[in-house]
Amino acid sequence: GDSVTQMEGPVTLSEEAFLTINCTYTATGYPSLFWYVQYPGEGLQLLLKATKADDKGSNKGFEATYRKETTSFHLEKGSVQVSDSAVYFCALSDRGGSNYKLTFGKGTLLTVNP
Amino acid sequence: SAVISQKPSRDICQRGTSLTIQCQVDSQVTMMFWYRQQPGQSLTLIATANQGSEATYESGFVIDKFPISRPNLTFSTLTVSNMSPEDSSIYLCSVSGLMNTGELFFGEGSRLTVL
| pLDDT reading at A96 higher than 60 | no
A88 touches chain B (CB under 8 A): no
Residues of B in contact with A36 (CB under 8 A): 106
Distances (CA, A) of B52 to A64, B6, B21, B75: 39, 21, 19, 12
**Which residue from A32, A42, A107 is facing B101, i.e. has the nearest CB?**
A32
Q: Are strands A32-38 and A86-93 parallel, antiparallel or unpaired?
A: antiparallel
B59 touches chain A (CB under 8 A): no
What is the model's pLDDT at position B69? 94
Closest CA to B104 of A36, A22, A26, A84: A36
The pLDDT profile of chain B, 115 residues, written as one tens digit per residue, is 788 999 999 999 999 999 999 999 999 988 899 999 998 888 899 999 988 888 999 999 999 999 999 999 999 999 999 999 999 999 999 998 766 667 888 988 999 999 9
DSSP, residue by residue, B12-60: EE-TT--EEEEEEESS--SEEEEEEE-TT--EEEEEEEETTSPPEEPTT
What is the model's pLDDT at position A98? 55
Amino acid at B38: Q
What is the model's pLDDT at position B5? 93
Contact check, Cβ <8 Å, B42/A89: yes
B93 touches chain A (CB under 8 A): no
> What's the rounded mean pLDDT across residues A106-110?
94
For residue range A18-35, what is the model confidence (pLDDT) as tens digits? 999 999 999 887 888 999
Contact check, Cβ <8 Å, B106/A43: yes
| pLDDT reading at A95 higher than 70 | no
- Give the integer Cα–Cα distance in Å for A76 and A66: 12
B55 touches chain A (CB under 8 A): no
Closest-CA residue of chain B to A99:
B102
| pLDDT reading at A9 higher than 90 | no
Residues in chain B: 115
Do you find a cis peptide bond into A40, omega within 30 degrees of 0? Answer: no
**Which residue from B45, B105, B106 is facing A101, i.e. has the nearest CB?**
B45
Minimal Cα–Cα distance from B29 to chain A, Å?
13
- Give the integer Cα–Cα distance in Å for B82 and B78: 13
- Give the integer Cα–Cα distance in Å for B80 and B73: 22
Tell me what the pLDDT averaged over chain A comes to.
Answer: 91
Choice among A38-47, A66-75, B73-82 with the minimum mean pLDDT: A38-47
Using an 8 Å Cβ cutoff, are B55 and B47 in contact? yes
A43 touches chain B (CB under 8 A): yes
What is the model's pLDDT at position B101? 66
pLDDT grade for A100, boundaries at 50, 70 and 90: low
Q: Which of A51, A101, A103, A108 to mutate to test the interface with B (most CBs of B within 10 A)?
A: A101
